[in-house]
Amino acid sequence: MVGGCDAAVLIASKNNDAEKDAPDNESLAGDGFDTINRVKAAVEKRCPGVVSCADIIALAARDVVYLADGPYWRVELGRLDGLDSRASDVKGKLPDPDMHVKDLTPVFQRNGFTEVDMVALSGAHTVGFAHCSRFTDRLYSYGGARTDPSFNPAYAYQLKQACPIDVGPTIAVNMDPVSPIRFDNAYYANLQDGLGLFTSDQVLYADEATRPIVDMFAASQKDFFDAFVAAMLKLGRLGVKTGKDGEIRRVCTAFNH
């Protein structure tokens, strides 16, 4: 959603000014980058200059979801890799953990996503992790020096044990406290129970505009899966580079030139 599906986030910079270095991307897993790089190296040995890093990311996202018991879909291929990657381009382009629905909606709408798409894509938080620093304000400084009352009290207590107020920057917790390694619709049932980790998660249930969508996905995993696949296909078409606007990188972490 920054410059499109163009693998700009894989570029490594000596000056730490590439897209991956932006504060909003600090929770991206290093082993995820390593996996993509290893896949690219293996592909280049067999068919050099044919498969882009952008396509590998799209395929890997699908496979991770499927291997975690989520849906399978046919990934559209043929993207080229982008020719620039700047941390300065990220600000304001991605959903922020502290956003409310009124702030989230424009971020998605300007990229062609509906509210249903937005809530479906948020369901990706049924797997993965988040560093404590991304949500501790909800635990210790909500409206002063208190805990966000929308938290389930038992969950807030559990999070405080994992993330004390002086927690280190590398400590992280699962996004989904119920089924953290399964791609399922538990995320939405969690929101109904006050188990959303980020403000941007829990507000989907608190806001009257998106609550019916949360309820629908909580009641039907099939409806969630169908909506998620449709939204992922849209996401994969964002900012696709073709012709002189892109290249097939030899190494995902560096431009060819």
Contacts with 168 (C-beta within 8 Å, 6 or more apart), sequence order: none
Please provide the distance, in angstroms rounded to a whole number, between the alpha carbons at the two ends of the chain. 25
Amino acid at 92: G
Please check if 31 is assigned to a binding site: no
CB 241 within 8 A of CB 6: yes
Please check if 6 is assigned to a binding site: yes
Please check if 176 is assigned to a binding site: yes
Please check if 2 is assigned to a binding site: yes
Please check if 35 is assigned to a binding site: no
Please check if 81 is assigned to a binding site: no
CB 217 within 8 A of CB 188: yes
Please check if 84 is assigned to a binding site: no
Alpha-carbon distance of 199 to 217, in angstroms, equals 19
CB 115 within 8 A of CB 209: yes
Please check if 203 is assigned to a binding site: no
Please check if 137 is assigned to a binding site: no
Write out the binding residues for Ca(2+).
2, 4, 6, 19, 126, 176, 184
Write out the binding residues for substrate.
95
Write out the binding residues.
2, 4, 6, 19, 95, 125-126, 176, 184
Write out the binding residues for heme b.
125
